[in-house]
């Protein structure tokens, strides 16, 4: 099977947020047929939908995969479960959230999976980190690039780059000291 390029959104707002991002990336990298090729910076964002919860840390990853879109979705759900994701409140707090944003240039409309992610063009917390690693990728069905959408949604959004970075080679923190506010 040929390799596809997919983009994953990551989010966390409970516990040791940086550790959750790192563990999720390590577990994805450990899966057969999944190889992380690019990582965005980490951003802090206010919650959307359900507001009575801590701020989120968000990032995006580009992966190359030989897995089908549905297989990849199941891998993401398995990693969420391994990291104790609990689904109690829609858009509520979570240890980790992994979303399949794009899979090559495909449009997928299935009961369990919609790609491109149906709300990605409304969410600065997805678009800003994604534009960092894939600015020229056209979001299928929209005719516009990720960078165009990020600019379109930037006004009024609070997406703040954190001082923390993820190192692609080791998937470990590439900064000596992470301020406590980023690890809440």
**Has 90 been annotated as catalytic?**
no
Distance CA 137, CA 182 (A): 29
**Has 94 been annotated as catalytic?**
yes
Residue carrying structure tokens 């301020």: 179
User: Per the residue annotation, which of 17, 27, 94, 123 is the catalytic one?
Assistant: 94
**Has 67 been annotated as catalytic?**
no
User: Per the residue annotation, which of 17, 67, 97, 123 is the catalytic one?
Assistant: 97
User: Per the residue annotation, which of 17, 27, 67, 85 is the catalytic one?
Assistant: 85
**Has 71 been annotated as catalytic?**
no
Q: Which residues contact 159 (CB under 8 A, 6 or more apart)?
A: 43, 44, 45, 58, 124, 125, 128
User: Per the residue annotation, which of 17, 27, 67, 99 is the catalytic one?
Assistant: 99
Q: Catalytic residue numbers?
A: 85, 94, 97, 99
């Amino acid at each position: 099977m040929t390799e596809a390029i997919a983009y994953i959104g990551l989010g966390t707002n409970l516990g040791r947020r940086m550790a959750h991002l790192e563990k999720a990336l390590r577990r994805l990298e450990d899966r057969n047929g999944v190889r992380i090729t690019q990582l965005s910076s980490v951003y802090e964002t206010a919650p959307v939908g359900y507001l009575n919860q801590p701020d989120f840390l968000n990032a995006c990853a580009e992966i190359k995969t030989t897995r089908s879109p549905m297989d990849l979705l199941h891998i993401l759900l398995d990693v969420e479960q391994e990291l104790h994701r609990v689904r109690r409140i829609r858009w509520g707090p979570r240890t980790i959230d992994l979303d399949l944003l794009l899979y090559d240039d495909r449009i997928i409309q299935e009961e369990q999976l919609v790609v491109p992610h149906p709300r990605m063009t409304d969410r600065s917390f997805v678009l800003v980190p994604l534009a960092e690693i894939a600015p020229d990728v056209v979001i299928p069905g929209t005719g516009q690039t990720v960078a165009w959408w990020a600019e379109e949604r930037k006004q009024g959004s609070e997406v703040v780059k954190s001082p923390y970075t993820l190192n692609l080679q080791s998937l470990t923190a590439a900064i000596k000291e992470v301020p406590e506010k980023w690890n809440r």
